[in-house]
Structure 1
Amino acid sequence: MQLEDLIQRIDQLIQKADEVLQTVEGNLYDGLSVDSESFYAFRSASLSFLAMTFGKDHTHYDEFNSKASSETPYHTQIGCSILSVAREELAGGWLATTKGLISAEIFSDFLEMAQHLLDEGYKDPAAVMAGSVLEEHLRQLCQKHDISTEITRQGRPKSKKADALNADLTKKQVYNRLDQKNVTAWLDLRNKAAHGKYQEYTEKQVSLMLQSLSDFMVRVTL
């Protein structure tokens, strides 16, 4: 699927949210609600799109799944807002999942791509991309060392967060506690970039992250 198709699809989902909001009924005293069938059709289609495009481990998927969960105007508006942010990232070329990068076939080396973005002055997408590379490396390290990458909640498997993978790898002595602290710091920087907290880190910090991450991945190999 091309970028234009992704943007067109997310525009359709945002339009669906607007249509759901047109079904509002009730009052402030008794509570407002939207048409249940329309809301859950919108929710299902949106989750499917976010999982396919960004992955189920991405912030957008997690936030939509948890915060746009019931048939109310508020939850519908929250879902629409998350889709709008995702659209901005797509339109700006910030699709930084491993799957998206492979499909685009832009760079075979993801860290090289992140460094290229940083060199061009785009520290924020560079940080997000480097974080995606790190998280994928952690998952593959877990698979190599027979560490589960999933937990079961309410009878359903769910992917572990990167912080949990980091802790598990340290417990199994795949790397030491100093490495764990560094990984935690890199993940924190990635999360700040992904959540739009662009003023809380500098271009120099992203540069150091890329250098250190590259060294870490060479030293702690798959």
Structure 2
Amino acid sequence: MDKRTELIITEINKLLQIGNGLVQYGKSNGSDTADEKVQELTKWTNLSGELIFKLYPNKSSQYNSHFQHYRAKMEMTRLHSNNYQPLLELMGVLEAIKYELESGLINKLKTLIQADIFSDFLEMGEHLLKEGYKDASAVIIGSVLEDTLRKIAQENNIEILNDKGKFLTMDPLNIAIEKIGIYNQLVKKQITSWADLRNNAAHGRFSEYDDKQVAMMLQFVQTFSADYLK
């Protein structure tokens, strides 16, 4: 689990702790809600909503939808023994998100989305190659390979930026990934070869490779992405 995820879980735990305190207050309160509790509940609701939206920017996501639904049921100035259930429901949303974070489901979902994006670009590269645009195809396929290496590095806590804060190129990423045993030297050599082809395409050295090599590169990247982007 990376540090960012740990920080988010810590924040959720804090919100759940505050929420539990508010629930206990609501259960025992038989009259109007104290001003400080109204303020605390308002703050808690806003912080929880903001956290959920940051994790799930799509407003139509189930967690955003559920949160807004339960939030609408809550009367902010009337937290008492007959009206604390919506708060429990809101806390249930946070508990579900916490579970996803702890089990890695959010990261797995993002990986699946990333894989779909890569697949779309590879299809584009394949189409360009079939239409006779081998150079544009090589650049796109090479970019997918580079992004795949970057994703693998991130999943294995390998630095992806250099000292100047810029993304590392394929060669240092390839070396670092092979060094920790994610794949063997044969795969490393293949990646080096395809990185050279992509660089030739990107720098206008179009006579250094042909259509067949680009087709082989496409096949390699398709297999490599499927095998290592998990």
TM-score by structure 2 length?
A: 0.47
Q: Decide which structure has the larger Cα Rg and report it.
A: 2
Greater helix share, 1 or 2?
A: 2
Greater strand share, 1 or 2?
A: 1
TM-score by structure 1 length?
A: 0.49
State the structure with bigger RCO (CA 8 A, min sep 6), 1 or 2.
Answer: 2
